[in-house]
Structure 1
Amino acid sequence: MANGFIWGFIACLSLLYAGMFWRVMREVTIHPPIRFNRQRREVAFVPTRGAAPIFVPWESVIACVSAGRTVTEYAVLPAFNLMFCLRQADTGNVLWINVPSGHLGAAIAEWEAIRVY
């Protein structure tokens, strides 16, 4: 009897893990990546899957770091986001991209790595 319980527990954990893995992989593939092209000095992004890529000149990209706090009943947790603003020149559409970071130094370091690239 105990052996069947253990195998059932392992099967439930395996299904839970497989479901979480599938959900994360689906979330990653839903959003197309953003490309920073160093030679052409522009940023390419796709606003929705299947749409034509949009190219934004590197000089018109706005970057900032936002800092905030999440307050719970147990602790106050700092939250930092590296934010990119990509604006289309012809239509005026704006796309904000948030890159979460655990520390202010990590967000600034990521921006410096992209900027120096």
Structure 2
Amino acid sequence: MGLMFGYDFAYTWELVVDFFFAIYGYGLAAGSFTLVIGLCTWHHNHKKRLTIFPTRFNRQRREVCFNPEDATEPVFVPWESLSAWVIESQGATQYGIQRQYGMGIGFQHGETLTSVEFPCFGLPIAISHWEAIRGYMEYEINDLKTIQDPLDLQNPGDPSHEGLHTFHNARARMHQQIRDGERNRLSGFFWYLYHVMTLWTIPNHLTEWEVRRIQKMAPHAMPEVMQQWSEPLPKEQWTKPSEELVRMSEQVRQLHKRQPRRPITEIFAEVRRMNPCRKPGG
């Protein structure tokens, strides 16, 4: 700024140095305070894993395990009695129209609807969340890579979570793209610059450490009844899909085969209208 107002370089540099020494103490204190707040928030959320358990899906038993906040024990719900929905809302503000989307699953427990809802970035993404769950339960899809892996950062045999291996895979892919001429060396330089500015592999190491802590914590924190429910069953004891679900699934496949360009949501809706009885599988 000093150069812009006609001051020489020496005066401008002296001004910058004096300004730095005048405020670095405040910056250090503010940074330390922010770090402490962040660590306290992380620790608080991390400890919740001892008492709050995620919804679990068991495709061998074809059941879903919910853990309502006011319940003393987990609640096991048949998969085909589960309901699923997507949420779309919009409102007008001084900045324009704002839209929110979400996805939810739940069941009617007595007179109470127990549900789990979470926000999504768009309606197709909300539907995709449900399709991922349905794919796991109905088609034995075990990971998201089988459905969609846009970054392709997991090699065969890699863990399903992100971590140090995804960083090394991303760097190897970047070098391969440079060799193949898909990107230039300048973009590679900015790739390294970005990761140096984001502390290189420290975030990946922290992720690995967090995953290990959760895996170590989960078996001890999980209620015994849930542990028994999660144990694998012999194949002859696996629960079979109902005849109603098998029939409706076949109707969906036949309609999709005849009208491949028709949105799958419309096909599901038509099959639902064709079978006005209880809806299986959400």
Asked if TM exceeds 0.5, the reply is yes
Report the counterpart of residue 82 of structure 1 in structure 2.
103
Match of 2:61 among 21, 40, 58: 40
Structure label with greater radius of gyration: 2
- Identity among equivalent pairs (%): 30
Q: 1:8 aligns with which of 16, 21, 29?
A: 29
Q: Is 1:58 equivalent to 2:45 in the alignment?
A: no
CA distance in 2, matches of 1:21, 1:80: 26
The alignment of Structure 1 onto Structure 2 pairs a total of residues equal to 115
Tell me how far apart the structure 2 counterparts of residues 82 and 105 of structure 1 sit (CA, whole Å): 10
The CA distance in 1 between the partners of 2:91 and 2:43, in whole Å, is 28
Of the structure 1 ranges 45-54 and 73-82, higher mean CA displacement relative to structure 2 is found in 45-54
Bigger proportion of residues as strand = 1
Q: Does 1:103 align with 2:122?
A: yes
Closer/same/farther in 2, CA of residues 104 and 29 from structure 1, 3 Å limit: farther
SS of the counterpart of 1:4? helix
Q: What's 1:116 paired with?
A: 135
Shift of the alpha carbon at 1:28?
A: 6.0
Report the 3-state secondary structure (helix = DSSP H, G, I; strand = E; otherwise coil) of the residue aligned with 2:129. Answer: helix
| 1:105–1:94 CA distance, 2 compared to 1 (3 A) | same
* 1:110 CA drift (Å): 0.8
* Structure 2 letter corresponding to 1:39: Q
Contact 1:32 1:49 (C-alpha < 8 Å) held by counterparts: no
**Following the alignment from structure 1 to structure 2, what is the Cα–Cα distance between the partners of residues 29 and 37?**
21
CA root-mean-square deviation: 2.5
Could you state the TM-score of these two structures normalised by the residue count of structure 2?
0.36
Higher relative helix content: 2
Q: Is residue 56–residue 87 contact of structure 1 (8 Å, CA) maintained in 2?
A: no
Q: Distance in 2 between matches of 1:28 and 1:108?
A: 27
Q: Structure 1: state its 5+ residue gaps.
A: none
Letter in 2 for 1:112: E
| Cα 1:4–1:66 shift into 2, 3 Å | closer
Residue segments in structure 2 that go unaligned for 5+ positions in a row: 1-20, 137-282
- Structure 1's consecutive aligned runs of 4 or more residues displaced over 6 angstroms after TM superposition are none
Give yes or no for contact 1:31–1:49 (8 Å, CA) kept in 2.
no
Q: In structure 2, what is the Cα distance between the partners aligned to 1:7 and 1:79?
A: 38
CA distance in 1, matches of 2:126, 2:101: 7
The answer as to whether partners of 1:45 and 1:54 remain within 8 angstroms in 2 is yes
Residue deviations 1:4-31, cap 9 Å, x none?
Answer: 3332222222223224434543566653
